[in-house]
Amino acid sequence: MLKLSCNGLDRVHSLAQCGFAARPACVGPRRRRTRIGGFRSPGVRAFPVLAVVSNRDGAVVSREEAEVGTLADRLRLGSLTEDGLSYKEKFIVRSYEVGINKTATVETIANLLQEVGCNHAQSVGYSTDGFATTPTMRKLRLIWVTARMHIEIYKYPAWSDVVEIETWCQGEGRVGTRRDFILKDYATDQVIGRATSKWLMMNQDTRRLHKVSDDVREEVLVYCPREPRLAIPEEDSNCLKKIPKLEDPAQYSKVGLVPRRADLDMNQHVNNVAYIGWVLESMPQEIIDSHELQSITLDYRRECGQYDVVDSLTGVEMIQGGAETVPELKATNGSAIAKEAKKQFLHLLRLSTDGLEINRGRTEWRKKAPR
């Protein structure tokens, strides 16, 4: 029998027990939706969308759908939203995705963000080869690589909780794209996290960055909101704050980290989620024991290969501004977080051989709620 948390038990019981059905038979009260041509009604599973064409105002004017979805499409608990410009998917937190706090780990959260982003791209017809490449990108042998990732977690989901993630992408200047995420507890509709990421294109053969061409931009932007939509308000947030380089010798370090074969992804380099684990390896144990991760920001500066050896460095960063309350950030018990209760750290991942930077990071930690 699958263990269920008491949080929203009545609503998610059927979903947790029948997570691999085409659609749960009864999940409690349903939101009434008006059926728009080509989109699913509450009782009908839509086939994957191959194209959505929108006008200047962002309204959908035409769409093309596959005649038959794959088995994965039919079983997946996700679909495009009614305007066709974002994608939502529900995930059940598995037992192997929780850590010592009996809640999902930040690596689990990051993997779910990557999964929902890729599924969004597949739902509009992008290739599964190279993490959702467009036709022009495949022709030019270009792939997406992560430039920056910022994740904020207000409440960690527990084993058997159901998390709904919404994602959408947007243009980001002339050199990349941006993908944002909102995470909700499906049982309560409470926002439990937000994230934003920036992506650049790289040539798969030369491993050099490549400017986003007009052809690629047109292929991507047709599925994007016309007006900027930000998951995280950029004012008073660390999502854009510059990360200074952590100087050596650092207060804490873990040296000689080696990528596992399982850390490599389909683009033949260490997946961006693996860096999160390396960053946390050098955190002092007393912080791990008494605090939980509130936010993490990573700047990716160099790809890492299978045979590289990595050093992880960590140091305390002083928080400016005293003890005022941080807007919209809540501890697991629902209370507001005061800056005096937070601890902030800087991180650096580098190659052990020559000291070249792989990654810079910043983490914020809050006191664990009493149990």
Helix (H/G/I), strand (E/B), else coil: 356: coil
269 is catalytic: yes
DSSP 189-229: TEEEEEEEEEEEEEETTT--EE---HHHHHHHHTTS-SS--
Q: Which of 272, 304, 347, 359 is catalytic?
A: 304
Dihedral, CA of residue 211, residue 215, residue 216 and residue 217, to nearest 10: 90
DSSP 16-79: HHTTTSSS-S--SS-------TTSPPTTSPPPPEEEEEE-TTS-EEEEEE-SS--HHHHH-SEE
Query: What are the tokens at 246?
Result: 């952590």
Q: Which of 269, 272, 347, 359 is catalytic?
A: 269
267 is catalytic: yes
Query: What are the tokens at 106?
Result: 């930040």
Alpha carbons 87 and 83: distance in angstroms, whole number: 10
DSSP 230-251: -SS-STT-TTSS--PPPPSSPS
As annotated, the active-site residues are: 267, 269, 304
